[in-house]
Amino acid sequence: MADHEKIGLLAQRAATALAEGDRDRAVASCAQIASIFDVHAVKEEAGLFAEARAEGLAGDVLGRLEEDHGSLEVDLALLAGGDTTHLGRILADLVDHAEREDSDLFPAVLQLLSNEAWARIKKVHQDR
């Protein structure tokens, strides 16, 4: 969730910068978001999602979140490259994705996963 917080703050910075007409600052914030998100998505998919799937959490829920990751990675790369045409929509999609993980997925996995599963997730995070 720490990554979600960093990304949320950077998303606010990007939106504010664009609203103030500072496209360069908006793009720089988006580049930071893209960098954090790329690593974040890999850690989630290899750690949390894999462990949740192994415990029988609904595959369609995880599949949708993984689809989000793919779409967001492409969209964030466009923003980081300087195309701010759809910045508002992309940042809204990003925030929506994080909120679904925070409010739906995380509470479920806190109840579902064993201490051993959390240890494996921690190792995935350390290795990345």
Q: Give the integer Cα–Cα distance in Å for 15 and 89.
A: 11
Map 86-119 to HEC letters. Answer: CHHHHHHHHHHHHHHHHHHHHHHHHHHCCHHHHH
pLDDT grade for 98, boundaries at 50, 70 and 90: very high
pTM: 0.87
Look over the chain and give the mean of its residue pLDDT values, rounded to a whole number: 92
Domain spans, the chain: 2-127
In tens, the pLDDT along 48-63 reads 999 999 988 877 889 9
In tens, the pLDDT along 72-83 reads 999 999 999 999
The pLDDT, as a whole number, for residue 60 is 85
The pLDDT, as a whole number, for residue 118 is 94
Q: Which of 85, 36, 37, 32 is nearest to 65 (CA)?
A: 37
